[in-house]
Amino acid sequence: MIKFSLFLSLFVRSCLAQTPPATPAPSASGKWMTLDGSEPLVIARGGYSGVFPEASQYANEFASGNSLPLSALYCNLQLTKDGIGFCLSGLRLENSTTIAQVFPQGKKTYDVYGESVAGWFALDFTSDQIFQNVSLVQNIYTRPSAWDGMYSPSAVEDMASIKGKILWLNVDYDMFYNQHKQSPLGYIRSMSRYLQIGYLSSSEVEFLKSLNGKTAKVTKLIFSFKDADEVEPTTKKTYGDIANDLSSVAAFAQGIMVPKEYIWPVDKNGYLAGAPSTIVQDAHKLGLEVYASGFANDQPGSYNYSFDPTREYLQYIDNSQFAVDGFLTDFPSTASESIACLAHNQNATKKGGPLIITHNGASGVYPGCTDLAYEQGISDGADVIDCSVQLSKDGVAFCLDTIDVTGDTNALTAFMSKSSTVPEIQPNSGIFAFDLTWSEIQTLKPTLTSPVAQSTGLMRDPAHKNSGKFVTLAEFLELAKTKGATGVLINIENAAYLASKKGLDIVRSVTEALSNASLDKQSTQKVLIQSDDTSVLAQFQNVATYERVLLIKDKISNVEKPAVEEIKKHAHAISVLRASLVDSSMSFTTEQTDIVQEMHAANISVYVHSFRNEYVLLPFDFFADPMVELATYIAGLGVDGVVVDFPATASAYLKSPCSNLNANLPYTILPAQVGGLIGLLEPQTLPPAAAPAPALDAADVVDPPLPPVSKVADDGSSATPGGATPAPAGAPGSGAAATASSIGFSLMVALLVLSATSF
């Protein structure tokens, strides 16, 4: 009962948000290039099968509440031994149900259109056996298995009973069923007496022809294409050949459903292959509607989309040539937001709202901290581009994510002899910027990296793997000015070590670069100075127009009041991890903290880092949709800025009308209900509660004064001027919460690394 109440809360909340307003938004008719000019139809394959088992109660209800008001539920018809229909994809049942465990002796082998197929088939079991004994499971293993075994398959009547949704019934394997004394046609004729079927699709020509005049006038017949080289069993033609003769299809159907690759082919390297085909226009000329299948947020279609699923949908509906008439999707909310929030919105402008701050430029598109990444970031709508400043051996300030150059370049192959271990900076060996001259650094190849490449194989655009060149701080500031960036963020770390051990004054280098660019004498372009060291921030207090940002690198659970007061003395804002605001476990969100409210009460802004589009980094509550994550932090929590690898995604969200939850719209992008999905799990499946992250206290905020800049001898040793005793160079900045020991700190780092792939 508790789990059902939690689900009902999620469902009712979504329904209220998606209910058409009393005064409808202006109609989109006239701007869509669909066959009849109406908006494309969202067709939920088995309900919300991207999260819940296909055609389960949760999947059906959740799809209903998280789709456009006018949308369809897609049921793939299965027939039992006694002629009862239920919904499930494929012909064999063992991959999506528990039938193999419940009936281990039920495996059979059949000839299916000339191929010997072994498995568990619906026609070998009665409806009582199916509905009373068999449960559904998630058959795509990157999706949550938490609801496996909880629900029996849905009868066709169950799906048809979902209020306000169109029933789309798909019939594959009609000829196979008839060979074994079952008649999908007879079933449909009997069901049509009391159920309204909006769409009836099949991949078999003769089945659709047999329906001529035998269905209600409101039912549209759709011919469903399979892969182009597969053979249609009743005509013995390939589907590719049939696609070249659409006039023959128009004789027995009102529309076609094609795999999305029929429209936008993808080449062997993972890129869209030139121009789209003309199949949509050709079909529309014949009066055929065109529906595209194969859409799923967790199955990236092409590098062209930068792991943003909305960009793929828009490719099919928001261009100057055509629009498909609908999508078959496992994630109906993303299809809905693409249609209702993002289409025909490219020329909109961002109206205020939180800052979009790049993370090393558009580092999801080009290698981070390169000229191309920064230019792309500005082009993609970032308000602020960022430079993490490093100093070369000869004192040149340049932009690179970390002081260890091995992560973002080919330094390991080029300068392996310069590898060293600097425990004050990191436990592992590396090749450090301060050991290379600027001319040596210029010889390095930038590398486009992915935070999930090693664990999942998901690579970012390989065509840009080594594109661009690194830039000096002066070049970065000039680029920001000439390309029209609204602001710049300068990140400074390791200042104490560089001063005391290497004789390098990073604060002075930054101060002079900003002054030379006249950024200390103007207020037009926003300047943010960020550091994990309050003593560094203190060096910039004399320029009133600079906004100082305290970087908090570690995950925290809250900020104690004395810490808030200390932050106010040194910074205007903090930048925290996403996990410091929304915690997660087992890839489900669990709870949100009060950090934003605590900071806002003290007039301190909150920025959040770092947002990435790859679906494997998103808790299931965000539906493999980076815009839902952004909505959760921006519209839900009210953060003041987001630090992103893909600024185009954040810009598209913030330019859309759906970023305003108070707008009078028929559909909007809702923040996730944090902890909502995990509340639906069985208690025995939950892991033990993890220890809470530490709170940030005052001692974590305040750092010792910066040491004076030492003179470095030719052998690399340093001497402190005047015999002064510098602050410990290896002490963590205030961005790190205090830990009891070096062992405890190492354990915390390990946990953070492990959790990074799930959140």
Domains and CATH numbers, the chain: 30-342 (3.20.20.190), 355-408+446-681 (3.20.20.190)
β pairing state of 711-712 and 546-551: unpaired
- Is the Cα dihedral 387, 388, 390, 395 positive or negative? positive
Q: What is the DSSP letter of 636?
A: I
Residue 27 reports pLDDT greater than 70: no
Give the residue among 496, 535, 499 at the shortest CA–CA distance from 709. 499
Burial of 521 (0-12, 13-18, 19+ CB in 10 A): exposed
CB 437 within 8 A of CB 358: no
Q: Could you tell me the pLDDT band of residue 214, with boundaries at 50, 70 and 90?
A: confident
pLDDT, tens only, 7-25? 444 544 444 444 443 333 3
Predicted confidence at residue 459, as pLDDT, reads 95
Dihedral of the CA atoms 319, 321, 323, 328 (nearest 10)? -90
pLDDT, tens only, 547-586? 999 999 999 999 999 999 999 999 999 999 999 999 999 9
Q: What is the DSSP letter of 121?
A: B
Dist CA 14 CA 64 (whole Å): 9
Q: Average the pLDDT over 101-121 and give the result.
A: 98
Q: Which two tokens stand for residue 681?
A: 């799990």
Q: What is the DSSP letter of 147?
A: T
pLDDT, tens only, 371-422? 999 999 999 999 999 999 999 999 999 999 999 999 889 998 889 999 999 9
Within 56-137, where are the H helices? 57-65, 99-102, 127-133
- Looking at every residue in the chain, the average pLDDT score rounds to 91
Residue 745 reports pLDDT greater than 50: no
Residue 743 reports pLDDT greater than 60: no
Dist CA 137 CA 55 (whole Å): 10
Dist CA 605 CA 600 (whole Å): 6
Chain centre to alpha carbon of residue 134? 33
Dist CA 642 CA 645 (whole Å): 10
pLDDT, tens only, 78-88? 999 999 999 99
CB 69 within 8 A of CB 78: no
pLDDT, tens only, 461-511? 999 999 999 999 999 999 999 999 999 999 999 999 999 999 999 999 999
Dist CA 724 CA 710 (whole Å): 10
Q: Which residues are within 8 A (CB) of 649 and not within 5 positions of it... i.e. 6 or more apart?
A: 306, 308, 310, 611, 613, 626, 627, 630
Residue 545 reports pLDDT greater than 80: yes
SS3 298: coil
CB 463 within 8 A of CB 627: no
Residue 57 reports pLDDT greater than 60: yes
Dist CA 243 CA 228 (whole Å): 8
- Give the start-end residues of each E strand in 238-344: 255-259, 289-295, 326-329
Q: Which residues are within 8 A (CB) of 183 and not within 5 positions of it... i.e. 6 or more apart?
A: 83, 177
671: phi then psi, degrees, rounded to nearest 5: -60, 150
- The three-state DSSP-derived secondary structure of 461-480 is CHHHCCCCCECEHHHHHHHH
Q: Average the pLDDT over 529-542 and give the result.
A: 98
Give the residue among 645, 138, 621 at the shortest CA–CA distance from 386. 645
- Is the Cα dihedral 483, 489, 493, 499 positive or negative? positive
Side chain identity at residue 551, one-letter code: L
SS3 123: helix
Tell me which of 25-34, 297-306, 652-661 is least confident.
Answer: 25-34
Q: Average the pLDDT over 719-742 and give the result.
A: 48
Task: State pTM to two decimals.
Answer: 0.92
Q: What is the DSSP letter of 506?
A: H
Residue 33 reports pLDDT greater than 60: yes
CB 449 within 8 A of CB 459: no
